[in-house]
Amino acid sequence: MAAEKPNVVFVLGAPGAGKGTQCSNIVEKFKYVHLSAGDLLRAERNEPKSEFGDLIATHIKEGKIVPVAITCSLLERAMNDSMKAGQGNNFVIDGFPRNQDNLDGWNCQMGDKTNLKFVLFFDCPEEICIDRCISRGAAGSGRTDDNKESLKKRFETYVTSTKPIIDHYAEKNLVKKVDGSRSADAVFTDVQALFSS
Ligand code: C5P
Ligand code: MG
């Protein structure tokens, strides 16, 4: 018997909009597995045997989007591992698809194998996002891109490459937008309502 198609919720928003924080909350409260494209890329970068380590490292520092073949394979592998481990087939995928290449690659490789439920979009002004990322860096995130220079580039990428993807999904009525500028608790109250309905 064919297994049921995994359900996917994409989580998008500017760097520092609260994607990771809210995904952790979602996992605590609902039967979802959280996959962060950025975390998977950072783990692959840190893998000494990876042939993509250097490429990923430069892309992250420059705030550029890694070619989708790499990211999509990491996501597919993580989904399969997690389903094999019996963790269920509901996924919140954070930080993906980030540009047209991501979107096309996903549709081609995963579109038919998954069921996209909706896109959760955390809307948050740039100043707040930048402050959060700078604080996160100062608090020891250890990330190579939580600094002023990288953040400027990450925001450029967000505006020019990611925003159009959110608009694309909005046209298909798939976007659920939440005001991400508020406290994590206030934001989660709204998020919970979306996942309970
Ligand atoms: O989502 P997060 O802020 O952790 O992403 C960090 C970096 O990882 C991005 O700025 C980008 O360089 C890389 N990334 C990517 N493709 C994605 C997600 C993240 O290249 N879909
Ligand atoms: Mg994150």
Q: Is 180 annotated as a binding residue?
A: no
Instruction: Check if the beta carbon of residue 188 is closer than 8 Å to that of residue 19.
Output: no
Which pLDDT score, from 0 to 100, does residue 6 have?
97
Q: What is the pLDDT of residues 91-133, one digit of tens each?
A: 999 999 999 999 999 999 999 999 999 999 999 999 999 999 9
**Ligand 2 centroid distance, CA of 63 (Å):** 13
**Ligand 1 centroid distance, CA of 97 (Å):** 10
Does residue 137's CB lie within 6 angstroms of at least one atom of ligand 1?
no
Helices vs strands, H then E, count in the chain:
9, 5
Using most ligand atoms within 8 A of CB, pick from 11, 44, 65 the residue to mutate for ligand 1.
65
SS3 state at 147: coil
**7-35+88-196 maps to which CATH number?**
3.40.50.300
Q: Work out whether strand 33-36 and strand 7-13 pair parallel, antiparallel, or are unpaired.
A: unpaired
Cβ count near 42 (within 10 Å) = 17
